[in-house]
Amino acid sequence: MTPRMTKLLLGLSAPVLALVAAFAITSLVLLIAGDPVGGVWGEILSVPEGRNIANIVNSASVLYLSGIAVAIGFRMNLFNIGVDGQYRVAAFTAAVVAGEAWLPGYLNTVLAIVCAMAVGALWAGIAGVLRATRGVSEVISTIMLNFIATSLVAFLLRKAAVREEGSNNIGTKEVPEGSRIPGISIGDGPGQEIYGFVIVAILVGVLYWFLLGSTRFGFDLRATGRSTTAAVASGISVTKMVVAAMLLSGAVAGLVGMPLLFGESYTYGSTFQSGLGFAGIAIALLGRNHPIGVAIGALLFAFLNEQSNPLQILVGVSPDIVAITQGVIVLTVVVSYELVRRYGVRLEQQSVARALESERKREEVTA
């Protein structure tokens, strides 16, 4: 086997190992609880229909943005737990701006999205500045900012809201027809449309890949993440990088609510989806901060969520079982990458030892 093949196989074996372990542990839980193991996996691993595929892609696009937002922080050794708060504040702002419709058509959409990114960046920036100037850990400050965001948005929503017809839910003014982002049809049936915003999510991924991999800024960011002392020695201002990374992470977090806002709900209300930030952390870990890895992670999580939905009706098992699978995957991915890395190192050492051995023998023969 060529070294290249070995490397590829090793790279692939880690996530496969993690998945197998996670499935095994979940099955064990099901077995102990006395639930039908076969029935559950049969349902989850069945081929999704067109409508389900659309749902999977849609929720994956949202999770992807959240994952990328977290990943930007990770590359710099910053732990942005605050994506949750950032996207709420941002989505609310965008909903208000878009609902007011100061500009016509898509200009309105663009303005709202820019506002969302700015507000998300500002909200994350608070944590960035606190970390850079006062040494406050971003883990704690972003958690606090999450709670503050929840209350703040609830307060502002009550000020800005209009009551939805025939329900107790309150929400912002609806986004006008002309400013909505049309869906992309992937089939003929009803509900077979994916958000137009999916394209933006892909663009964000490409930009992330380019910015971190091919620009000076990206290099500085990764260098600071690897070693602060080395970064300082090479003239990077760590303070600036911390704030910049948080701003960037927050700006992407600001986009998390956009697919929902412009593609489905058209308003920010008390029922707007929450908890996407924490899923983003798991997905960034799963995808090892790589743009394609994060995409696979987001699709996997969305797949598990969507496929587990009918479990309660069909086999009488609570769909929360997949949360166990998802959490276990996060752990097993980290462990299996470490195990595979150690194995790879051992393989390399062996091949070097063999090469040296044959070299020595040849010398003995010629001597």
Among 112, 285, 294, 302, binds other proteins (CB under 8 A): 285
On the CB side of 149, how many CA atoms lie within 13 Å of its CA? 30
Question: Which amino acid would we find at residue 234?
Answer: S
Note whether 158 binds other proteins by CB under 8 A.
Answer: yes
Among 320, 348, 357, 359, binds other proteins (CB under 8 A): 320
Return the residues of window 17-46 that contact other proteins according to CB under 8 A. Answer: 29, 33, 35
Shortest gap between Cβ of 82 and other proteins (angstroms)?
Answer: 11
Note whether 281 binds other proteins by CB under 8 A.
Answer: yes
Note whether 243 binds other proteins by CB under 8 A.
Answer: no
Among 315, 331, 344, 347, binds other proteins (CB under 8 A): 331
Return the residues of window 162-191 that contact other proteins according to CB under 8 A. Answer: none
Note whether 256 binds other proteins by CB under 8 A.
Answer: no
Among 37, 114, 118, 144, binds other proteins (CB under 8 A): 144
Note whether 322 binds other proteins by CB under 8 A.
Answer: yes
E strand map for the chain = 162-163, 170-171, 184-185, 193-194
Note whether 359 binds other proteins by CB under 8 A.
Answer: no
Contact status, residue 251 vs residue 114, Cβ threshold 8 Å = no
Distance (Å) of CA 231 to CA 204, 226, 227 = 26, 8, 6
How far is the C-alpha of 282 from the C-alpha of 288, rounded, in Å?
10
Shortest gap between Cβ of 57 and other proteins (angstroms)?
Answer: 23
DSSP 275: -
Note whether 229 binds other proteins by CB under 8 A.
Answer: no
Shortest gap between Cβ of 329 and other proteins (angstroms)?
Answer: 8
Residue 349: count of CB within 10 angstroms of its CB: 10
Shortest gap between Cβ of 279 and other proteins (angstroms)?
Answer: 8
Please give the distance of CA 92 from its chain centroid, rounded to a whole number.
20
Note whether 315 binds other proteins by CB under 8 A.
Answer: no
Q: Which of 214, 209, 353 is nearest to 292 (CA)?
A: 209
Note whether 141 binds other proteins by CB under 8 A.
Answer: yes
Note whether 155 binds other proteins by CB under 8 A.
Answer: yes
Q: Which of 276, 292, 275, 294 is nearest to 284 (CA)?
A: 294
With 0-12 / 13-18 / 19 or more C-beta atoms within 10 angstroms meaning exposed / middle / buried, residue 350 is exposed
Shortest gap between Cβ of 164 and other proteins (angstroms)?
Answer: 20
Span from 111-119, 138-146, 252-260, 265-273 in contact with other proteins (CB under 8 A): 138-146
Shortest gap between Cβ of 133 and other proteins (angstroms)?
Answer: 9
How far is the C-alpha of 301 from the C-alpha of 291, rounded, in Å?
15
Among 148, 223, 238, 315, binds other proteins (CB under 8 A): 148
Note whether 343 binds other proteins by CB under 8 A.
Answer: no
Buried b (16+ CB within 10 A) or exposed e, 207-241: ebeeebeeeeebebbbbbbeebeebeeeebeeeeb
Contact status, residue 314 vs residue 321, Cβ threshold 8 Å = no
Q: Which residues contact other proteins (rule: CB under 8 A)?
A: 29, 33, 35, 74, 77-79, 130-131, 134-137, 139-141, 143-148, 151-152, 154-155, 158, 226, 278, 281-282, 285, 288-289, 318, 320-324, 326-328, 330-331, 334-335, 337-338
